[in-house]
Amino acid sequence: MTSVLVYGAYGHTGRFVVAELRERGFDVVLSGRDAAKLPGGRPASAADPASLDRALDGVDAVINCAGPFAETALPLAGAAIRAGVPYVDVAAEIEANLDTLALTADTAVVPAMAFFGGLADLLATAAMGDWTAADEVHVAYGLSGWRPTAGTLAAGRVSRERRGGKRIRYAGGRLEHRDDALPTREWPFPEPLGPRPVFAEFSMADIVTIPRHLKVRDVISYMTLDAAQGLAAAGERDAAETFVVDVVVRAGDDERRIVARGEDIYAVSAPLAVEAVDRILTGRTKAKGVATAGEMFDAADFLRVLAPRITVA
């Protein structure tokens, strides 16, 4: 039986990934930093390469669900590369994604294989279709709410510290750090959501994953104001949000649009990450080594198999 190690298996997203793997018939190896939460598992520290090597012994792939990924992504990816097995993570930290994408590897390494980063990359790649370049990619997130996990809040703090409190955007073909406030505007979400006020340049991992392999001048992310304000809330998640991800690609006067709908931004990261591992292990890839979702996989086909948990039109 094919075995997949899940690092951070006891975390919020990690539990979804473990369940998804088991449902699809994988043998799951539980791992993470806290041995007390891993009865029968393989505890390992990201700060101890030898412990990571022991944890990965004999497994076929690794999914990293343990943030902040600034602390875990490079050590886990490095251990996977040493073991010669694929590495996938669910990191939404822009700086951690950049760190991982700077690696070189013979085995597959795919960061940001989650709701933020991977999903929009697949959507934008599918929307581009036969276009070889575009002027703009717009990614608008319409969430019914957002009660972040403690891990999300910690990851956000680390990212802000790494960029000195500045915000970041992708414009004119490069990443820029800025001191000004986020602009606001109204985004015309499809019905039944309809037009909603959003923060523009609310940059997520999409500004790293999309221009990694698509020739595009600007990548702009948007977040509904009420959902963005939920990031200030702490505590346990008490309900799953519904979401609409509206992606518009523009080239000159031409425009293409693709929309994804679903529920629970953390839960849907599980089928994204697990499908990625399945495709890598069965040779259904377009690229080798380090790559993003849209670069590594047939985007349109990948999105089709996510139904019904994520519906795309």
- pLDDT tens digits, 204-252: 999 999 999 999 999 999 999 988 887 765 556 667 899 999 999 999 9
Query: What separation in angstroms does the CA of 187 have from each of 98, 136, 171, 184, 261?
Result: 28, 15, 19, 10, 16
Pairing status of strand 87-89 against strand 109-110: parallel
More confident residue, 43 or 233: 43
The pLDDT value recorded for residue 17 is 98
Render the burial of 203-237: b for 16+ CB within 10 Å, e for the rest.
bbbbbbbbbbbbebbbbbbbbbeebbebeeeeeeb
* Strands annotated E in 82-181: 87-89, 109-110, 134-143, 167-171, 174-178
The pLDDT value recorded for residue 23 is 98
CA dihedral sign of residues 306, 121, 157, 76: positive
Contact 41, 30 (CB under 8 A): yes
The pLDDT value recorded for residue 190 is 93
Average pLDDT of the chain, as a whole number: 95
The pLDDT value recorded for residue 238 is 63
- 3-class secondary-structure state, position 179: coil
Q: Which residue is associated with the tokens 């075995």?
A: 3
Which one, of 7, 44, 249, lies nearest residue 139 by Cα?
249
More confident residue, 142 or 239: 142
- Tokens encoding 292: 């993003």
What confidence tier does 192 reach under pLDDT thresholds 50, 70, 90?
confident
The pLDDT value recorded for residue 154 is 85
The pLDDT value recorded for residue 233 is 59
pLDDT > 90 fraction of the chain, expressed in percent and rounded:
88
User: In degrees rounded to 5, what are phi and psi of residue 127?
Assistant: -65, -40
The pTM score is 0.96
More confident residue, 77 or 229: 77
The pLDDT value recorded for residue 232 is 63
Which one, of 42, 49, 89, 47, lies nearest residue 69 by Cα?
89
The pLDDT value recorded for residue 123 is 98
The pLDDT value recorded for residue 237 is 65
pLDDT > 70 fraction of the chain, expressed in percent and rounded:
97
Our CA angle for 257, 259, 262, nearest 5°, is 175
